[in-house]
Structure 1
Amino acid sequence: MACNCFDKVAEACDKQIRDVIGSDLAEMGESGFENAVWVMSAGDHAPVSLKYRFRYYRRRKNGEPETRQTKSDTAIMMRFCPFCGTAFSGSEVRDVPVRDGL
């Protein structure tokens, strides 16, 4: 891995929360980042992805919006460590076309 910031931050968060809870901590369930990922391609990658939520209402044939929401969520991989700025030397990066107004 390009850096060990995620390990350091997870360890610091775990310690801080344990210190705050103190003797009220009876049994440990789990501790760590949500959205952990295993990337099978070559190179360094961030061990965590960001979830991007996108919800919308489809247009009916009559032009009115549907009553139920449609989910079109995705995950975004980081190219740089958000803590120290070190670049991850992972897979090829592709530009994503952005439409006007989004």
Structure 2
Amino acid sequence: MSDKCNCFTETLERVKSHLTEQGKVPDGATEVSFRWQGQTHMLSNGEYAPVNPKVEFKFRAPKKGGGHARNMTKSDISILATHCCYCGRKYKKDGE
């Protein structure tokens, strides 16, 4: 087994081929670009997933006097992946 995986690159290439073959990108189109949304750029060395899962959460907060707020509170967080979500291989951190 290789020391590094190329799962994200290979998956993006498969998506590109599939969408092109299905006609989602018309023949003759120019400046065609495929990239992961929410890409991560780490300033430290080591391995990491180029895209990390994002969890969106929302809720209706309780009011002090009873009942609940009219508007929903919405937020999200990103989770730094420690393993490849495709092959399960653990990413190596600095010094490992």
Q: Normalising by the residue count of structure 2, what TM-score does the alignment of the two structures yield?
A: 0.79
Aligned counterpart, 2:10: 8
Q: 1:3 to 1:23 in 2, by over 3 A?
A: closer
Q: What runs of 5+ residues in structure 2 fail to find an aligned partner?
A: none
- 1:41–1:90: 8 Å Cα contact kept in structure 2? no
- 2:59–2:72: 8 Å Cα contact kept in structure 1? yes
C-alpha deviation, 1:15, in angstroms? 1.2
C-alpha deviation, 1:75, in angstroms? 0.6
Mapping 1:45-60, distance limit 5 Å: 45-60=48-63
Aligned counterpart, 2:77: 74
What do you get for the CA RMSD once the two structures are aligned?
Answer: 2.2
Q: What runs of 5+ residues in structure 1 fail to find an aligned partner?
A: 92-102
Give, as a single letter, the amino acid of the residue that structure 1 aligns with 2:34.
S
Q: Distance in 2 between matches of 1:78 and 1:28?
A: 31
C-alpha deviation, 1:32, in angstroms? 2.1
Report how many residues are paired: 91
SS at match of 2:53: strand
Aligned with residue 19 of structure 2, among 12, 17, 20? 17
SS at match of 1:53: strand
- 2:19–2:25: 8 Å Cα contact kept in structure 1? no
Q: 1:16 to 1:23 in 2, by over 3 A?
A: closer
Q: Distance in 1 between matches of 2:46 and 2:67?
A: 47
Aligned with residue 65 of structure 2, among 62, 72, 86? 62
C-alpha deviation, 1:23, in angstroms? 7.7
Q: Normalising by the residue count of structure 1, what TM-score does the alignment of the two structures yield?
A: 0.75
